Amino acid sequence: MSGAMQDWTMRVTAVLDHAAREAGQREIVTRWADGSETRTNWIGIRRDALKMAQALIALGVKEGDRVASLAMNHSRHLVSWYGVAGMGGVLHTINPRLFDDQLEYIANHAEDRVLIYDAAFQSIVDRMKPLWPSIEHYICFDNGEFEAWIGQQDGDFEWVEGSERDPCMLCYTSGTTGNPKGVLYEHRSTVLHAIAGLQPSAFNFSPSSVMLPVVPMFHAASWGLPYSGAMAGIKFVFSAVNDPAILDELMKREGVTDSAGVPTVWLAHFQYCDAQGIDLPALKAATIGGSAAPKFMIERLMKNGTRVQHAWGMTETSPIGTVGGPTWDWEHLSFDEKVAKTAMQGRPVFGVELRIVDLDDMSTALPRNGTTSGALQIRGPWVIKRYFKAEQDATTADGWFDTGDVAIIHPDGTLQLTDRTKDVIKSGGEWISSVELENAAVGHPSVAEAACIGMYHPKWDERPVLFVVKKEGAALSASDVIDHLKPLIAKWWLPDAIEFVDDIPHTATGKISKKDLRERFSDYRLAE
Ligand code: ADP
């Protein structure tokens, strides 16, 4: 016997239809790179997306074809998310900060046919064009070009229908090892993920929410915000430039209540407001993810009345895995306890399951006791099954995807990331968390940044070495750092050496690149 409810195909175009129908007048504001501003609304986004779908078909783009974007956050980029999906295409959002060899690799691997780009990235386009043979059409988002292109169409169009398992978006991981790998999101996975983002324990949107996403639209689908926000019918404020002065002015003038970004974004914002002697914007909620949010950041935002939603996820998980909204016992926790809890990576939203397994024997699941750490695995309808064009599944036989992260799970479900499997340091058969060492080190007022890697040691296999960037003008010695660390970590975790460096290498998504750091110090030898 089957159930007796209606068929309803989960396509992302239904999300935009809903926004235009139910929250049509809600504004979408863009501050462009040239300083100008435009205002449209969900009805306008839908009208333009319909025209764009027609314009792509007129170019000869077929269902399943990849259309690439090389762009920051703005309303035209938002139009293209829905316009491409609306004609059955796949939007491939390219990260403009990738290195040339990665840019070359991913556009060719994706076999992109069209590229739509910001004028700010004209030099990338000029440089890469000869290396991108599959791209037949280049369209600039700026200088009136995009508007003129879609303006040739009348918008009298019905979204292309198809299976909810059809792909709608392609994102490549930045590839800290080997070539970048493509993650092909489906209409269904995207819609389910966006609904999950609406949970009060996740983005907690209401119709009065005004969101300025600082997380770029090319970074793991901007964490699904352009879909969740459309479902909730919120107002969006976009800035095509990531400058704290511009973001601050926009947040205050446009009544922004919510924002989302990686920790460095908040750091830059603090520095800007401190230098100007002005208040931080009065946000209701800030989602922080992509890297661990340091305690002082959480503390400062919370003291400013902002709810901090510390989230963990990855491109392979669409990306929401866990989010750290308030827990049931929130009212009973002290301020310090709230900060400590928020510094962990939150709890799974409905739809994903997490488990930790033994690092040496991945078939053994470990307890969620708040102390045991293991390799973190995840499964759920918006978690990757297979990389784009890969021959084999990326999951275990029983459907778990191995995240490459090392974590502890607490009895209340809170996830606490302790390291990456590649970075955890094995000393005398015991594990040392490089991330915990780094977090402890950056708590020193003279430390700007710290990165810890395991170096070969003849007796212990590996021992931690901590690379430290001092704050400008700070006087800091290796023994100052060790004295600071002593009360914070186990004695046998203390680094064997502290090395002061001018800078620490970063990946295209702003994370510390330990691969590059290891390469830079490949001749480094620890004294025995
Ligand atoms: P990339 O930035 O390399 O494209 P992702 O954005 O997919 O890749 O990065 C995912 C990884 O980022 C996770 O596996 C985890 O190691 C790290 N990460 C994400 N969120 C957090 C967080 N809140 N705390 C610590 N690490 C995080």
The β-bridge partners of 464 are 454
DSSP secondary-structure letter at 395? B
Looking at 327, 351, 375, the residue that finishes a domain is 351
Q: From ligand 1's centre to the CA of 468, what distance in Å?
A: 22
Q: Is 403 in the pocket of ligand 1 (CB under 6 A)?
A: yes
Residue 90 belongs to domain with CATH number: 3.40.50.12780
Instruction: For residues 414 and 402, give the distance between their C-alpha atoms in angstroms, rounded to a whole number.
Output: 18
In this structure, are 356 and 346 located in the same domain? no
Question: Three-state DSSP class for 39?
Answer: strand
Which one, of 61, 69, 116, 121, lies nearest residue 91 by Cα? Answer: 69
Cα end-to-end span (Å), the chain: 72
CA of 327 relative to ligand 1 center, distance in Å: 23
* Ligand 1 geometric centre to CA of 16 (Å): 28
Where are the extended beta strands (E) located within 160-316? Answer: 167-172, 182-186, 210-213, 235-239, 258-261, 285-288, 307-313
Cα–Cα distance list, 215 to 238, 264, 506 (Å): 10, 11, 17
pLDDT in the model for residue 177: 61
Average confidence (pLDDT) over 412-417: 96
Cβ-based neighbours of 35, under 8 Å, separated by 6 or more: none
Let me know whether 96 and 233 are in one domain.
yes
Query: Is the CB of residue 345 below 6 angstroms from any atom belonging to ligand 1?
Result: yes
- Whether pLDDT at 395 is above 80: yes
pLDDT for 438 beyond 80: yes
Is the pLDDT at 149 greater than 90? The verdict is yes
- Residue 198 — pLDDT band, cuts 50, 70, 90? very high
CA distance linking residue 129 with residue 117, whole number of Å: 12
Distance CA 508, CA 238 (A): 21
The arithmetic mean of pLDDT across residues 191-200, rounded, is 96
Cβ of 417 closer than 6 Å to ligand 1, yes or no, is yes
Residue 480's domain is classified under what CATH number?
3.30.300.30
Q: Are 248 and 341 part of one and the same domain? A: yes
| Separation of alpha carbons 218 and 115, rounded Å | 14
Q: Is the pLDDT of residue 238 over 90?
A: yes
How far is ligand 1, taken at its centre, from the CA of residue 434, in Å? 15
Q: Is residue 525 part of a domain?
A: no
**DSSP 3-state assignment of 117?**
strand
* Ligand 1 neighbour 102 (Cβ under 6 A): no
Nearest atom, ligand 1, residue 345 CA: 23
Same domain, 245 and 163: yes
Among protein residues, the one with the nearest Cα to ligand 1's atom 13 is 314
Mean pLDDT calculated for residue range 495-511: 89
Residue 290 per-residue DSSP state: S
Tell how far the Cα of 244 is from the centroid of ligand 1, in angstroms: 23
Residue 445 belongs to a domain: yes
Token pair 């955890």: residue = 424
Candidate of 262, 312, 419 to mutate for ligand 1, largest count of ligand atoms within 8 Å of Cβ = 312
Peptide bond into 411 cis (omega under 30): no
**Once rounded to an integer, what is the mean pLDDT over residues 274-299?**
95
Residue 314 CB–ligand 1 contact under 6 Å: yes
Kindly state whether residues 338 and 462 are assigned to the same domain.
Answer: no
Whether 280 and 335 share a structural domain: yes
Is residue 281 included in any domain, yes or no? yes
Distance CA 298, CA 270 (A): 12
User: What's the half-sphere exposure (Cβ side, CA atoms, 13 Å) at 528?
Assistant: 3
d(CA 310, CA 525): 37
Cβ of 213 below 6 Å from ligand 1 = no
Residue 420 CB less than 6 A away from ligand 1: yes
HSE at residue 148, side-chain half, CA atoms within 13 A, is 6
Residue nearest to atom 16 of ligand 1 (CA): 405
| Percent over 70 (pLDDT), the chain | 99
Looking at 307, 324, 351, the residue that finishes a domain is 351
My answer on whether 131 and 49 are in the same domain is: yes
Same domain, 55 and 180: yes
The ligand 1 atom at the shortest distance from the C-alpha of residue 292 is 24
- Please give the positions annotated as active site: 173, 316, 426, 431
Does residue 6 fall inside a structural domain? no
DSSP string, 299-342: HHHHHTTPEEEEEEE-GGGSSEEEEE---TTGGGS-HHHHHHHH
Q: Is 405 in the pocket of ligand 1 (CB under 6 A)?
A: yes
Residues 145 and 186 in one domain: yes
| Mutation test residue for ligand 1: of 406, 417, 509, the one with most atoms within 8 Å of CB | 417
Give the residue-averaged pLDDT of 497-511: 89
Looking at ligand 1, which atom is closest to the CA of residue 435? 25
Q: Is the pLDDT of residue 437 over 80?
A: yes
For residue 166 and ligand 1, the question of a CB distance below 6 A is answered with no
Which atom of ligand 1 lies nearest, measured to the CA of 288? 23
In the chain, what percentage of residues exceed pLDDT 90? Answer: 87
Residue whose Cα lies nearest atom 25 of ligand 1: it is 292
Question: 439 CA distance to ligand 1 centroid (A)?
Answer: 16
Predicted pLDDT of residue 507: 82
CA–centroid distance, residue 51 to ligand 1 (Å): 36
Q: What is the CATH number of the domain that holds 359?
A: 2.30.38.10
pLDDT digits over 450-497, tens only? 999 999 998 888 999 999 999 989 999 999 999 999 999 889 999 999
Element (H, E) at 246: helix 244-253
* Closest C-alpha to ligand 1, atom 7: 314
Question: How many angstroms separate the CA atoms of 453 and 138, rounded?
Answer: 43
Same domain, 415 and 297: no
Across the range 507-512, mean pLDDT stands at 80
pLDDT at 237 over 70: yes
- Asked whether residue 3 is assigned to any structural domain, the reply reads no
Local structure of 74: helix, strand or coil: coil
Per-residue pLDDT at 176 exceeds 80: no
The more confident residue out of 423 and 66 is: 66
When the pLDDT of each residue in the chain is averaged and rounded to a whole number, the result is 95
pLDDT class of 294 with cuts at 50, 70, 90:
confident
SS3 184: strand
Contacts of 499 (CB under 8 A, 6+ apart): 465, 466, 467, 468, 521
Q: Which domain holds residue 174?
A: 12-351
Average pLDDT over residues 373-397: 96
Output the CA 264–ligand 1 centroid distance in Å.
Answer: 13
343 Cβ inside 6 Å of ligand 1: no
How many Cβ atoms are within 10 Å of 372's Cβ, its own excluded?
13
Alpha-carbon distance of 489 to 366, in angstroms, equals 23
Q: How many angstroms separate the alpha carbon of residue 5 from the centre of ligand 1?
A: 39
The answer to whether position 115 is within a domain reads: yes
Domain boundary residue, one of 290, 318, 351: 351
Q: What is the pLDDT of residue 526?
A: 86
Closest CA to 449 of 332, 294, 219: 294
Handedness of CA 442, 448, 454, 456 (dihedral sign): negative
Strand, helix or coil at 146? helix
Burial degree of 79 (CB within 10 A; 0-12, 13-18, 19+): buried
Does residue 394 sit in the same domain as residue 335? no
Q: Among 171, 434, 511, 515, which residue has the most ligand 1 atoms within 8 Å of its CB, making it the best to mutate?
A: 511
Do 190 and 149 lie in a common domain?
A: yes
Note whether 28 and 217 are within 8 A (CB): no
Count the alpha carbons within 13 Å of 60 in the hemisphere toward its beta carbon. 6
Are the beta carbons of 336 and 342 closer than 8 angstroms? no
290: Cβ below 6 Å to ligand 1? yes
Number of domains forming the structure of the chain? 3
Per-residue model confidence (pLDDT) at position 528: 67
**Domain presence at residue 528:** no
Mean pLDDT value of segment 134-161: 98
- Determine the residue of 314, 376, 516 to mutate for testing ligand 1's pocket, defined as the one with the most ligand atoms within 8 A of the Cβ atom: 314
Residue 1 lies in a domain: no
Are 348 and 354 within 8 A, CB to CB?
yes
Contact 22, 14 (CB under 8 A): no
Q: Ligand 1 centre and the CA of 342: distance in Å?
A: 16
Quick one: pLDDT at residue 503?
Answer: 93
